[in-house]
Amino acid sequence: MSPRLLVAPLAILVAAAAFGAAVPGFAAGGNLLNMASQMWVLALLAAGQTFALATRGFDISVGAVAALAGVAAAWAANTLGAVGLALGPVVGFACGMLNGLLIGTLGITPVIATLATLIGVRGIALLVTDDGQAVPLELDAASWVFSGGTALPPADWVALAAVVGAHLVLTRTMVGRRILMLGSNPDAVPLVGLDEARTLRHAYALCGCFAGLAGTLMMLRAGTGLPIEGSGMELQAIAAAVIGGTPLTGGMASVPGSAAGALLVQVLLTGLNTSGISPFVAQSAIGVVIIAAGLVAHGMHGFHLSPRRPRRRQP
Amino acid sequence: MKRAYFDCRASWPSYARRDQATEPPLTRQSDPAGRGAQARPGVLVLDGIAKRYGTTVALRRVNLRLDAGRVHALLGENGAGKSTLVRIVVGAAAPDEGEMRLGGAALRLGSARDGIAAGIVPVYQHLSLFPHLTVRENLSAFAYGRTGPLALRPPLVAAETARRWLDAVGLDRDLATPVERLSVGERQLVEIARAIGQDCRVLLLDEPTAALSDRERDRLFLAVRRLCERGTAILFISHKLDEIDTVADDLTVLRDGESVIEGVGRETVGRADLVRAMLGTAVNTGAHALGTPGPLMLCARSLRVAPSDPPTNIAVRRGEVLGLAGLVGSGALRIAEALSGLRPVASGSVEIDGAALLPGDRRHAVRLGIGLIPADRSTDGLFAVRSASDNVSASALSLLSRAGLLRGRAERNMVAPWLQRLGLNPPEPERRAASFSGGNQQKLLVARNLLVPGLRALVALEPTRGVDIAARRLIHEALAEAASAGVAIVLASTDLDEVEALSHRILVVDAGRVVADLPRGAGHPALLAAMGGGGARAA
Amino acid sequence: MRALRRLAGAVPPSAPVALAIFLLFALVVPRFATAGNLENVLRIASILAIASCGQAIVLVLGGVEFSFGASAALSSVLAVSALPDVGPVGALAIGVATVAVIGTVNGWLVSRFDLPPFLVTLGALMIASGLAASLAGGLPIDAPPSAAFAWLARGRVAGIPVPIVAAVLVLFGTHVLLRHTRIGRIWCLVGANPVAARLSGLPTRSAVVAGYGTAGLLVGLAAAILTSRVASGQPGLAPNLAFETIAACAIGGIPLAGGQGRAANVLFGVAVIAMLNNAVVLLNLPVAYQQIAIAVVILAAVLLQRDGWPGGLWTRFGRKGARS
């Protein structure tokens, strides 16, 4: 196991211990559960992002895609009932597929392609909601998703299952294997007869699908589909994945790591909030952790004195 | 020249070892397939292939026939059309005219994937393995391309099968080893093993030995021979004529997009004829006239590059060309890099004209007037997206600017004569560096380093690697001329002909230590004897 | 003739596109081609132009900056908080210096530790936006009225609004920097191949630090103008500034791979975005159309201006072999 995967869990332990000691009630069961249910949106976005990162790319459109998916799911659930919620992930999948086509088939760099998708999807979300009107969800069962059921509400189970599913897809299926191969050596992929464009389409479609699921959960919790929601979450998701030990250089990726990264972000946010420090400081703290994670990776690789290190062309 | 080259082959010590062993010989002693070659149809036949890119004609009319169990060498200068032909053979490009037949049936390839499916497997110079995956997973990589998206378990090849493929190339490594832990040579063997697993009918080796040590190269050739025993046809591309003499059965030479020698047996063509066929004219490959060296210029005192190296003293005089020869991994390259200020040192000092060089600081070295032609042109030397002119002036910007502003006219006036002198083709300094051929790109690097302000010493690492013969001659002339003008030159090259033709004296390096100091004209045998202690040969 | 050819080489492919869009809108969109409207377009575009020059320098270096929006916000908050104590000039200096310092630190982290620019600037984004929000308590800080402070956004020089003058100066300065100075050439070479630049004896590390620092300086100027315009310290001043500048550079034709880029690319990229935005407003269309149009233009621009199939039409038929 790569030592970089240990960074996030250790940081979580340290942060949790510190907050647990400093803030009364932080370690209470209710608070922990609350934190867990708050982190799922970010965890799902980060899990999806892991697929894009594994191909040496990334997807900055996931926040916008999640918002559009939330609006679509709310509208579909209002017309079709609970089944309509499935439209969220489907919309996400379609947006991801678009990214995959732009990046894989047309060969546009991920920054530009997903930036264009980000802007375009925001535009579409505004267009379908009459310039940003929220779409209230009129589904009776909606509140049950976050409160009912067993010890863990159903939403948590769904999100947990999705993260486990992402992990299995990455490690146990040919799709995941091809994505890792592409990130490991992109030049070699066509030479062994793998379809590079198709693999990229799969990676970004998976990323979009998880963004759609995250958007649906976000909408269920808020009770409305908000077309301008999710701004800034794309970068937080990438941050969570990188903190979790998935490098930007591809070839290695860990979905549990990304989930741990998301948990760390949530622990910092909740901990600082409950301890009375401005919640905005938490954001700065996440920034410090990102750069620190980069420096740790740098320290592990050592200082590159040899000029013969192959050059990474992207981002 | 011819004499020197036969010496070189005769002194190859691994012959004896190989003949004693039960393994097949590296070169064929007899030529059984040659007799029947005319009668047999050939595994892969290319007939009258032509290819144009826009207005440029890459291939005019090329014929190529690969026979089962034979190694067919493809030669040609840079720009002769080799890479286009390779692209057509593997399926990455479609020919405009002509036809391809595989095993007698017409062949039409839409992509490299199709080529692999048909049994044409390329092994490229830049490796096509996946460093994060294990040996066994890499051996299974072709199968990965064929499964559907929802397939769960990756279709790994059976362990015994994988073992057998590795045995066939003589590689004994654990199947679960990640490929990133293997040496370059071992990785190449894995690649060939993977090709064996593909039941490949045609194996294409594109400059496979460029990054290999001597031992690894022998191992590679052995694996190639074993593959031949199984009836695979092999297309072998290399710039190194020695290797071609060693391993090839047949030859095809391309020049200006045409096959000027078509599939003849290697013994039937002498080296001089071969070179003439590649160039169109006979070239003077003889030694360059060199001036008399002056006082001391560049010296290393008790230099230890790696902590384990013994201390070394090296002195290069003004106007002297010092050759550094050694096997891959001998430390010759290391020492040369330290002399240029590229590499930090463990102890000792490098001085130029009495001034001490800060080790590992190229900026300081350039300020002291030390040029460096790096060994790897594209990763360490070329600014591919910038113009030729920008590439040449890069080290001389301090001369070209006043108060931080660049003087465009001064830049043009400085660059133009050098590009003319080195025969840049096409002679357009505003063209992107990436659009030039390899030889012309190398000319840009040479010009850049000859333009280092106050040039006093020049360290040239493999200055003509992968460069065609005409460019090579121009580069050699430019280096010799710089030496005549008083520059101290350190030439580290694995090309012994080059070292011998240019150097005043040759230091032979082994295990980080100078083991011999040979005068000009000592000849190949002395050089080889000093290099390997009888064990090996320059790669 | 030579001068003419050099001029043709200096015109990026986005120029005729921008011109075509201008002519189209002048014909189709009512009130587009009036002096008042065009001044308005230029005034709004000037801030994006100044910031995009900063992004262009970072892209030429082979990097990318995501922290512009956050550091602009922090600069705005700091400048307005300091305004009562240090006066308008001092406040603006603090605002500009804030972004320049953040840029310099980013450049140092990128060059010293060889970290991916994306990672470093993402971290800087989070740190700066967190600081800006916590310093301001999450709400805008009102600036005390100050004529001198407002001059930057609302004043005129010889009848031309100050932001436009500033943008013209910055574009010209960036052009000179990238084309005619030693440091600009070093930026290009480092972006084209950092290892080769080091082996050629170029001061790569200090060049990268200087490049990110200069970019920060320019974005600091843009932030100061914005702050002056809104007359308050905004923790959410321009949240999408980084994305907008990347979009402008991409439309203008600067490749993300590094080593290439000119001020002219920025000029025409910004022009296209500004005209699209303005036309949507004039036509009274929902803002959604503006975003969709920009997304499509980005993709079209990138496809048409790159080398090789299926784009690169311009490179293939227009200016064979010329450098961009």
On the 0-12 / 13-18 / 19+ scale of CB atoms within 10 A, C308 is exposed
Residues 6+ apart with CB under 8 A from A173: B149, B150, B151, B152
Instruction: Choose among A108, A127, A294: nearest Cβ to C120.
Output: A294
Chain A residues with CB-CB distance to C256 below 8 A: 109, 111-112, 314-315
Predicted pLDDT at B530: 76
Instruction: Choose among B117, B132, B144: nearest Cβ to A194.
Output: B144
Q: For the segment B424-441, what is each residue's pLDDT rounded down to a tens digit?
A: 888 889 888 988 888 899
Instruction: Choose among B129, B146, B151: nearest Cβ to A173.
Output: B151
Number of H helices, E strands in chain C: 14, 4
Predicted pLDDT at B458: 95
Rounded CA separation A185/B470 (Å) = 35
Predicted pLDDT at B33: 43
Rg (chain A; Cα; Å): 19
B104: left (phi over 0), alpha (psi -120 to 50) or beta: left
Chain A residues with CB-CB distance to C193 below 8 A: 311
Q: Looking at CA atoms only, how far is residue B128 from chain C in angstroms?
A: 23
Rounded CA separation A297/C93 (Å) = 36
Task: Check residues B308 and B442 and name the one with the higher pLDDT.
Answer: B442
Q: Check whether A302 has a pLDDT greater than 60.
A: no
What residues of chain B have any CB closer than 8 angstroms to a CB in chain C?
342, 362-363, 365-367, 372, 374, 379-387, 390, 394-395, 397-398, 400-401, 404-406, 408, 428, 430-432, 435, 448, 452
Most confident of B60-69, B145-154, C211-220: C211-220
Percentage of chain B beyond pLDDT 90 is: 22
> For residue B146, which of B120, B175, B117, B119 has the smallest C-alpha distance?
B117
Instruction: Choose among C180, C200, C322: nearest Cβ to B406.
Output: C180
**Do residues B342 and C199 lie in contact, with contact meaning Cβ atoms separated by under 8 Å?**
yes
Predicted pLDDT at C5: 63
pLDDT band at C307 (very low <50, low <70, confident <90, very high): low
Tokens coding B139: 């051996």
**Do residues B14 and B527 lie in contact, with contact meaning Cβ atoms separated by under 8 Å?**
no
The answer to whether C203 contacts chain B (CB < 8 Å) is yes
The DSSP-derived string for C21-56 is HHHHHHHHSTTTTSHHHHHHHHHHHHHHHHHHHHHH
Domain A3-299 has CATH 1.10.10: no
Does the distance separating the beta carbons of A315 and C256 come in below 8 Å?
yes
Query: Per mean pLDDT, which range of A221-225, A298-302, B66-70, B463-467 is the poorest?
Result: A298-302
Measured in whole angstroms, the distance separating CA C26 from the mean position of its chain's CA atoms is 26
Mean pLDDT for all residues in chain B: 81
Most confident of A162-176, B40-54, C307-321: A162-176
The answer to whether A190 contacts chain B (CB < 8 Å) is yes
Separation in Å, CA B217 to CA B183, B208, C254: 12, 9, 44
Domain C2-318 has CATH 3.40.30: no
Task: Check residues B96 and C219 and name the one with the higher pLDDT.
Answer: C219
> For residue B224, which of B253, B193, B197 has the smallest C-alpha distance?
B193
Predicted pLDDT at B9: 33
The answer to whether C180 contacts chain B (CB < 8 Å) is yes
Predicted pLDDT at B54: 65
Tokens coding A312: 């990474």
Asked if ipTM goes beyond 0.95, one says: no
Mean pLDDT for all residues in chain C: 88
Rounded CA separation A47/C280 (Å) = 37
The answer to whether A311 contacts chain B (CB < 8 Å) is yes
pLDDT band at B351 (very low <50, low <70, confident <90, very high): very high
Percentage of chain A beyond pLDDT 90 is: 36
Domain ranges of chain A: 3-299
A203: left (phi over 0), alpha (psi -120 to 50) or beta: alpha
Q: For the segment C219-262, what is each residue's pLDDT rounded down to a tens digit?
A: 999 999 999 988 888 888 888 899 999 999 999 999 888 899 99
Most confident of A104-118, B109-123, B126-140: A104-118
Q: Are strands B321-326 and B505-510 parallel, antiparallel or unpaired?
A: parallel
Chain C residues with CB-CB distance to A242 below 8 A: 119
Helix (H) or strand (E) holding B405: strand B405-406
pLDDT band at B329 (very low <50, low <70, confident <90, very high): low
Predicted pLDDT at B274: 78
Residues 4-43 of C with CB under 8 A from A: none
Q: Check whether C269 has a pLDDT greater than 90.
A: yes
Tokens coding C115: 């970290």
Q: Are strands B202-206 and B321-326 parallel, antiparallel or unpaired?
A: unpaired
Question: Which option is the CATH number for B296-386+454-531: 1.10.3720.10, 3.30.1360.10, 3.40.50.720, 3.40.50.300?
Answer: 3.40.50.300
Rounded CA separation A262/A256 (Å) = 10
For residue B298, the SS3 value is: strand
Task: Check residues B211 and C211 and name the one with the higher pLDDT.
Answer: C211
**Do residues B440 and B471 lie in contact, with contact meaning Cβ atoms separated by under 8 Å?**
yes
- For an interface test with B, give the residue of C176, C181, C193 to mutate (most B CBs within 10 A): C193
Reported in sequence order, the residue ranges of C124-226 that DSSP labels E, i.e. its strands, are 141-142, 156-157, 160-161
Domain ranges of chain C: 2-318
Rounded mean pLDDT, B460-473: 83
Q: Check whether C191 has a pLDDT greater than 90.
A: yes
Predicted pLDDT at A141: 66
Percentage of chain C beyond pLDDT 90 is: 60
Chain C residues with CB-CB distance to A117 below 8 A: 295
CA distance between the termini of chain A:
26
pLDDT band at B487 (very low <50, low <70, confident <90, very high): very high
Chain A residues with CB-CB distance to B153 below 8 A: 172
Rounded mean pLDDT, B494-512: 84
**Do residues B338 and B305 lie in contact, with contact meaning Cβ atoms separated by under 8 Å?**
yes
**Helix/strand/coil (H/E/C) assignment for every residue in chain A:** CCHHHHHHHHHHHHHHHHHHHHCCCCCCHHHHHHHHHHHHHHHHHHHHHHHHHHCCCCCCCHHHHHHHHHHHHHHHHHHHCHHHHHHHHHHHHHHHHHHHHHHHHCCCCHHHHHHHHHHHHHHHHHHHCCCCCCEECCCCCHHHHHHCCCCCCHHHHHHHHHHHHHHHHHHHCHHHHHHHHHHHCCCHHHHCCCCHHHHHHHHHHHHHHHHHHHHHHHHHHHCEECCCCCCCHHHHHHHHHHHCCCCCCCCCCCHHHHHHHHHHHHHHHHHHHHCCCCHHHHHHHHHHHHHHHHHHHHHHHCCCCCCCCCCCCCC
How many CB atoms are located within 10 Å of the residue B311 CB? 14
Chain B residues with CB-CB distance to A173 below 8 A: 149-152
Does the distance separating the beta carbons of C291 and A126 come in below 8 Å?
yes
pLDDT band at B532 (very low <50, low <70, confident <90, very high): low
Predicted pLDDT at B323: 92
Predicted pLDDT at B131: 86
Instruction: Choose among A102, A249, A284: nearest Cβ to C299.
Output: A102
Task: Check residues B27 and C66 and name the one with the higher pLDDT.
Answer: C66
Residues 6+ apart with CB under 8 A from B29: none
Q: For the segment A38-68, what is each residue's pLDDT rounded down to a tens digit?
A: 888 999 999 999 999 999 999 999 999 999 9
Nearest CA in chain C to B341: C199
